[in-house]
Structures are given as structure tokens and as C-alpha cells.
Structure 1
Amino acid sequence: MKIRLVNNGVFTPVEEIEMALTAPAEGFYWIDADVEDLAVLQPLFSMHDLAVEDCLSEEEQRPKIEIYESHYFIVVNSIRFDDEEIFLRALNIFLGRHFIITVTKQKINELRTLKPLLWEQEVSQPDRFMYLLIDLIVDNYFLVGDRIEVRIEKLEEDILMHTKKSHLNEIIGLRSEILWLKKVLGPQKEVINTLNKRDLRLIDDQLQKYFSDIYENAVKISETFETYRDLMGNLREAYQSSIANRANDIMRVFTAITTIFMPLTVITGIYGMNFDNMPELHTHYGYFVVIGVMVALGVSMFFIFRKKDWV
């Protein structure tokens, strides 16, 4: 657990947690905690039992906002994409009048990238801290969306050039993750809309209007992932079409080969009959003539099929 006094974007480490219980002369306290620290923080900051239970739960938490007497409890999901799987990491925020507590189970990159932004904008209020943090989280969805789009384009190119059975597993896996992510974006969008429109005494009225920009971005993100879902459907159709075309090409080649060998089979069948009165059997160069005819016939048929683009 790290405790910092934030004033005009400048961080001052605080050793004693008790100092954060009272409002500082200037600035606010930011407590960056793990879930294990809640046992200490809950009685000191009067955290509601249900909010603490949500933080400790092993189940995936939906984004939400809960209003309590002395603080707000807000859950938003940070996103991460490692080219194989999409990860959502819950960020639990306790917003008070003079403090903000962030509780996480895993590291959240936005908490690290937020620090220079606080210094640049000389932040001295916890509600503005939360606004900038949520804004970073939402913006990161755009970055992940761009990477997903690149992966979709590459997958489409691979399917058109060299279709493999493994591509179907990639399509199904990525599509299911996009669908799952889109379900999560709905509640998160509503949380941001609540921060924008609801009368919240711990958030400055002027600052609250800025949440509308974040809400618009959240709507754009939701629409973008809706588009990705449709693209994955088109990609699956392209895969199935490519597989069907390849099967047709193979069958066409086999059919052409079979057609070429059919007259050759007839010739060998005729001269394979066990009749004594077959003049060609006694011809000195009969064998070579028949072989020459068969080769000429096969080559001629091959070039005819090639000219018609059948092979």
C-alpha cells in the first residue's frame, strides 16, 4: 500500500495511514492499495461491506457505481491485449471528499501513465484524479481496438493467401472474445453516463460535464467492437468459401487427370484382351506405336485442359 499527498500534481509520500483520515490543508490523499490492504482500510474509511466484498470476490465484477454516505464506490475495467487473448482487469475506486483509494488485484498500466499527467495539469482534487484515470482507461480501448483491427486484417490476408484449419480456431476464439468484451462495455458505458448526468456531490459540477466526452468515446468503442463482430462473421464466411474453393480446385485437378487416363485405359483394355487373331499383336513395332499414341493423346488432352484453364 502506498499513500501519497497530491497537491498541484506533486506527490509527497505519507508514512502514517492515520494522516489520510483528515483533509489536508491543500490537495488530497491517494492510497494505492492491494485487496489485502482492505482489512486495514475498511474500518478507517468506513468502507461498506458490500463494496469490500466486491473487491475481494474472485468472480468477474461488472462495472458499476454505488453511492454511500461518505464515499462512492466505482468499478471500471482496464483492458489489455497480448495478441493472443484479451484481458480485463478490474479497477476498484473509493472516492471521498479528500481522498481517493484505488484497489487492484493486478497491476494497472493506467495508474503508472497517469502520474505525469497529474503533474502536467497540476491536479489537486480527487474527483479530477478519477476523471483523468477513467479517461485514460477508455482511451486505451481505442489502442486495443486498433491492434485487434490489425490482427483481423492479417488473418483475412492469411486466409485469402494460404487457408489453414488453424485459422478457424483463431476466428472462433477472437470472435468470442469480442462478443464477451462487448457485453462488458455496456455496463461500463452506463457507469460513465451516470458520472455525467447524475447529481453527485463529491464531483464538481463543472468537471462533471467533461464526463460527456468520455461517454461519447465509450459509445464509439462499443460501436467499433460491434463492427469487429460483423467483420469476424465475414471472415468466417471467407474461410469457408476459401476451403470450398480449394476443394473444388482439387476435385477439378483429379477430374482432369481421370479424364486424361480414361482413353488410355480403353486402349490398354483393348490390347489386353486374350484373342489370337489380333493383327497388331504381331506387328514388330506395335508396342512402341501404341505407347506413342497413348503419350500423344495424354499430352494433347493436358494442353487442351490447360488452355481452357481446367488444370
Structure 2
Amino acid sequence: MPRYMSVGKHQEHSHETTQWPKQAQALWIDIPQGEESDLAGVVRRLYTAHPLAVERVLHGGRRSSGFLIEEDAVVMVISDPVQDTFPDHTKPIGIFLGQNFLVTTHFDGDNGIVEEAWQHILHDESLDEGIDFALYRLLYGHLHHFYTATHHISDQFEKLHARLLKEPYRNLALDIVALRKKTYWLYNVVRPELKIYALLKEHIRYVAARNRPYFEDLYSQAQEVLSDIESYRDGLEGLVEAYSGMQSNEINKVMKFLTIISVLALPATTVASIYGMNFYIPELHWHYGYWYSLTVMFLITAVLLVYMKKNHWFR
């Protein structure tokens, strides 16, 4: 059931909207999984919402991140990564921020950040600092999950790099592609969220001046995360090139080995083919002809070996 929290009062399991304070100084309403049908009614009681706003939140899972500015509220959808299983499993969270209200939705299940922020505000009774401060706590936990996801990418990148140098002959293509998919997903999610944080710290009138430094800090953190992701994205591009180059180098080594074997076998093959011709050859009736042909084969092969070694073919 939807729950609400207001200054000096909170209700953990309240489904009746008539129980909400009519003139609350700050009101936070959380709509959990399975309560999608309540969203329109909850938002309608708070302000006159555009149908597109509710639609954007209800189908937020189809997008990565985004926001919509209305006259009486700002609507946001953020995608929270789930440990190391992103981008296959994410938890989109819809947010409505107004002058004195905050509505959060997580219809695909809570990834922990809503509950963590809720308990923090509830325990410290810090809702009287403003509804924008509650949003700050929510987004702070969200960015912490991005830091965790970025560290996961960093660890995987270092492991791939070490494996590439240690075992260049192994097929690492699928691992590189999987890591690139995660990196690009994070990049496509964090980049539009920068606009959200920038608006919150500069233009949105629902953020009090005393709380703007919090959102400036969030903006700086988001920029740092995006910078790290971009560096890993570029590093993966270089890793792909290095992998392709090392694979080509391994193929060249094999071709070089086969070429050496072919060149060394060529003299013996040539001599043997000459004496295998169906013509009269004087050496065929010579007592030492057999040993003579073997000696010729050996000497030519030895000369080729000396030549190859002198020209560093075996490096």
C-alpha cells in the first residue's frame, strides 16, 4: 500500500488518500510495486498533472532516464543498476517533485535506495529541512549505486587487460562485448541525468536556496561518474584494438612458422622430385648416388638455416 510521511507525522501503510494532511508543509508519498493503479489518483490530488507525466512514469522501464518540467511539478525517471547484472536488470524509479510534495514510485521493485532514504529521513526527522532534502537523499543513494557499478566496470576492465597480456591467444571477444554493453548503458543513463542535477541546482524553484549546495555536490559527483565511464569506454575501444592486433600477431607467428617449415622442406622436395623423374639420370647407377643426394639436401637445408638465423627469422 502507498505510504506517506509529512512534517511531524508519518504513516507507513495508508491507502486512503483522505488521511493525508490537506495543508502539509512537506509531504512524501511512496507507491511501491503492485500499486500502479494508485499513481494517477495520488498525483491528481496533489496537482493537475499532464497525462504524459503519468505515462512517462508508468512506462519508465522502457527508457533509461529522463525528465519533464511542468508548471507545478518536475517529473523524473531514473534507472538504478542492480549490482553487477545491469543492464539486463534495472530498477526504474519515477519521481514527482512539487512545491511541498515528493512522490516516488518503483513498480519493478525497490533497489534499496528509496527505503534507505525513507528510513534516513524518518530516523533523523529531517523532512522539516524541506521536501527537496528528501529528494537529495534519494539521489545520493542512486549515485552511490552508480559508483558501485563504475567500480565493477573498472575491476572487469583490469582483469580483461591482464588476461589479454597473459593469454593473448584466448578468445576474449564475448567478454569485451559484454563489458562494452554495460559501459555504454551506464553512459547513456548518466549523461541525461546530468541535466536533471543541473536543473535542480540552478533553475527549479522547488529547491530551496539553502539546499542548493547539496544538488551542486550531486552534479559534481555525476560529472565524476560520467568522466570515469567515458575513460573506461575509451579504454575498451583501445582494448578492442589491442586484442585485434594481438590476434593478428598470433596468426602471423603461425604463418611464419609454417613458412619456415615450407622453406626448409623445399630443397629436399626439389632434389627428391628431380631424382624421381622418369628419365635417365647418371647418378641412379652410381654406388654413392643415394648418399650424394642426401648430402645435397642436408647442405642446402643447413645453408638456409644459417641464413634464417643470421637474419633473425626465429625471433
Normalising TM by the smaller chain, what interval? 0.7 to 0.9
Q: Tell me: CA distance 1:137–1:281, structure 2 relative to 1, closer, same or farther (3 Å).
A: farther
Mark the CA change 1:95 to 1:268 in structure 2 (over 3 Å): closer, same or farther.
same
Q: Which residue does the alignment assign to 1:196? A: 201
**Cα 1:203–1:44 shift into 2, 3 Å:** same
SS of the equivalent of 1:273 reads coil
**Within 5 A, what are the aligned runs for 1:3-22?**
3-5=3-5, 12-22=12-22
Question: 1:215 maps to which residue?
Answer: 219
Structural mapping, 1:115-264, within 5 Å = 115-119=118-122, 121-125=124-128, 126-163=131-168, 167-172=172-177, 174-175=179-180, 177-198=182-203, 200=205, 202-264=206-268
Distance 1:265 1:199, change over 3 A: closer
Unmatched runs of 5 consecutive residues or more in structure 2: none
The TM-score, its normalising length taken from structure 1, stands at: 0.80
Query: What's the offset of the Cα at 1:206?
Result: 0.9
CA deviation map 1:44-96 (0-9, x unaligned): 33351221121233642642252433x44233332345357465543211234
Q: Deviation at 1:293? A: 7.0
Mapped partners of 1:277, 1:74: distance in 2: 93
Q: Could you tell me which amino acid in structure 2 is paired with residue 40 of structure 1?
A: G
Aligned twin of 1:31: 30
Deviation digits for residues 265-299 of structure 1 (CA, Å, limit 9, x no counterpart): 1221233234455345553x765775587578768
1:73 to 72, 75, 83: 75
Question: The residue matched to 1:106 in structure 2 has which SS?
Answer: coil
Amino acid at match of 2:93: L
Deviation per residue, 1:194-251 (Å, 9 max, x gap): 1111251x33321122110001111112222221221122112102211221121011
CA drift of 1:162 comes to 3.3
CA distance change for structure 1 residues 14 and 37 in 2, over 3 Å: closer, same or farther? closer
Distance 1:235 1:130, change over 3 A: same
Rounded Cα–Cα distance in structure 2 between residues aligned with 1:291 and 1:20: 104
Give the residue type in structure 2 aligned to 1:256: I
RMSD over aligned Cα atoms: 3.5
Per-residue deviation at 1:309?
A: 5.6
Matched to 1:144, the amino acid is A
How far apart in 1 are the matches of 2:210 and 2:306? Answer: 79
Q: Secondary structure at the match of 2:75?
A: strand
From the superposition, tell whether residues 134 and 160 of structure 1 become closer, same or farther in structure 2 (CA, over 3 Å): same
The Cα shift of 1:114 comes to: 2.8
Return closer, same or farther for 1:196/1:215 CA change in 2, 3 Å cut-off: same
Instruction: Work out the CA distance in 1 between the residues paired with 2:304 and 2:41.
Output: 87
Output one character per residue of 1:114-155: Cα deviation in whole Å (capped at 9) or x when no partner: 344335543224322111001111222121111112222222
Say if 2:26 and 2:101, in contact at 8 Å, map to a contact too: no
Ranked by relative contact order (alpha carbons within 8 Å, sequence separation 6 or more), the top structure is: 1
SS at match of 2:20: helix
Runs of at least 5 residues in structure 1 that lack an aligned partner in the other structure:
none
Residue 43 of structure 1 aligns with which residue? Answer: 44
Secondary structure in structure 2 of the residue aligned to 1:210: helix
Give the share of equivalent positions with the same residue, in percent.
Answer: 22
Separation in 2 of the partners of 1:9 and 1:186? 37
The count of corresponding residues between Structure 1 and Structure 2 is 307
Other structure's SS at 2:63 match: coil
- Local SS of the residue matching 2:52: helix
Partner Cα separation in structure 1 for residue 169 and residue 108 of structure 2: 36
